[in-house]
Structure 1
């Protein structure tokens, strides 16, 4: 009987020794280099995103799960969306190269970092680098994983709508800031994916005054107008379109809002000025494509913690600082995705330095992120889920989600609030502006033309008869053939944009 306590103690020690093996816990130190700007004007600044990365780190450690043995040594570095990140990576790698790089977000800065990291076979995960060119993972961007939906993924929403509603043509209007160029790259994705449709483009610089007359002059031979620019400029365009009676259902209007960085939907038309009423009516024709928002219990706690961090950083006075945007979510999920892939690779006998193997295990998989399920495609890009918002109550000026697009299977889901009449083009060719009459005689009706032509022909024949009879002149008839081409083919596609819409 006295042996039993010793036997029980021995069993407890034995289970404690075996516990790491039984739970598949692997212990490893991981050097993580994170590139985030200190400037809080960026939606992906250090003050916003760093708390999400630490939240993921602490959560994996506290859960005591199979990833709790990973010790992430996180080094945050400032990136100015120009060259800082590349120089920092070079300096740090003189001693020991990082095991993982998070960021950068900005296209031009990310391009340089990802090229070098891919050459060194270091995994890079970014919630940015969304431009079309980063989809080339065969060579220079081979170790890049994009944890946020790219612009091409967003464009799939438009192709699904065009196919569903049988639209054929679009005008892409965007503001180009020549620095981050978010709108340039956003609509580049649309242009790239919609090559089979008739696409026109209109670009203007943020320094230039907005020429709404010139913009709207391009709309008359297309069906859909897709805009990417500041909220105030969209309002100005919609007011001008409403004054020209272009918002009566003859054309479709869309704006793109991916980052939750400015107001959209309810109240986006409201400025408290004398044009509010007209703007509300104009916005009844404006639809918004945005990221699909999902909510689950864990996300609510994450939101509370991120809000506390924002308040602690003293960012309450800046616009939209309290929003948990896709960058914040993305970098949290990046930590989890890397942990999953690293654990699998190490269980299979690979080391943390085998960046190629770890990167491949992050692709073509689905896992549970902070806001819901995350699906990565075979090319290492996140499949995007997007929502279509429309004004469903014009009197109140209220918006709601009317349809969702699910990128993982390419389905377009219509919700109860969807109204087919709202997305049906009506008599659009009847309200073209009056154009100067450049062709003589086109004001005469076809019947009148036939009658006048017949009378003139008869007179000429009679005159010709008497001419021969009275003067006995032998007439030599010659047949002259002319080929007339009065029709003009107007080619709407602007091929030159292909040389302008290029990746970073």
Structure 2
């Protein structure tokens, strides 16, 4: 995950600017009004940098974007951009979907924001995305990468990060290029007590391969337990030959 430290900054700056481009049209309607606040509500894990879109990784980019926008009076005439942050992280350091939903309601009732930035996790993005859709408030995030977010249930979400559906399409193109049209083995770790990044990544590939009737076999393991990788490789070989996996 360390590689996301620098890569996360640019997408978040773009998130804010995408929102601002829309807000600018509204702000331009009243050039002679007293200066007003345009409030962004930010929800992310506060400390756990195992999440690519945690606050320590992307918070500095957000703060810089706010300073840059406010320093240029032509971007939001007679308005000041501000933000309020709430953490989606529970006491165990997990990005909690229930806590994120509560934080979203608190931010909405307290500040009535123009837009939400985050949450930065798939599970947390789901309930918050439903709320923002109901409130008709934009939600900009790079953390809604799961296939389910592509189904039209979350029209308020603008996803600025990589999505697993696109990853699935990329892998499908590779299979077509090499003529792999019959059988694919999917191997992934799934702890089920975090944001399940491997599961959701494989889900996009699974959905795309299944759509063209490729036969799929799955092997799931947990990285926090002893793993016999030699046995996994042997099972892949046996499945590829149509043999029963060894026990």
TM-score bin (small chain): 0.7 to 0.9
- In 2, the alpha carbon distance for the partners of 1:30 and 1:115 equals 22
Which residue does 2:57 correspond to in 1?
48
Q: Larger C-alpha radius of gyration, 1 or 2?
A: 1
Which residue does 1:107 correspond to in 2?
122
1:47-97: CA deviation from partner (whole Å, max 9, x where unpaired): 221111122222333345444654212001111111222112222333442
Q: Does 1:71 align with 2:100?
A: no
Q: Does 1:163 align with 2:150?
A: no
- In 2, the alpha carbon distance for the partners of 1:29 and 1:211 equals 57
1:402-442: CA deviation from partner (whole Å, max 9, x where unpaired): xxxxxxxxxxxxxxxxxxxxxxxxxxxxxx7xxxxxxxxxx
- In 1, the alpha carbon distance for the partners of 2:203 and 2:243 equals 20
Unaligned runs of 5+ residues in structure 1 are 1-23, 224-431, 433-489, 493-504
Q: Does 1:144 align with 2:161?
A: no
1:206-256: CA deviation from partner (whole Å, max 9, x where unpaired): 332102233113322667xxxxxxxxxxxxxxxxxxxxxxxxxxxxxxxxx
Which residue does 2:17 correspond to in 1?
none
- In 2, the alpha carbon distance for the partners of 1:98 and 1:186 equals 32
Across the aligned residues of Structure 1 and Structure 2, the Cα RMSD in angstroms comes to: 2.6
Asked if the contact 2:49/2:56 (under 8 Å) is kept, the reply is no
TM-score of the two chains, using structure 2 as the length reference:
0.73
Which residue does 2:9 correspond to in 1?
none
Q: Secondary structure of 2:112's match?
A: coil
**What is the aligned length?**
203
Q: For residues 199 and 117 of structure 1, do their structure 2 counterparts lie closer, same or farther at Cα, with a shift above 3 Å needed?
A: same
For residues 24-103 of structure 1, what are the structure 2 equivalents within 5 Å? Answer: 26=28, 29-42=37-50, 43-67=52-76, 70-80=79-89, 81-82=95-96, 83-103=98-118
Q: Does 1:216 align with 2:214?
A: no
Residue in structure 2 matching 1:177, options 178, 188, 191: 191
- In 2, the alpha carbon distance for the partners of 1:66 and 1:96 equals 22
Q: Which stretch shows the higher mean deviation, 28-37 or 74-83? A: 28-37
Unaligned runs of 5+ residues in structure 2 are 1-24, 90-94
The structure with the greater share of residues assigned to helix is 2
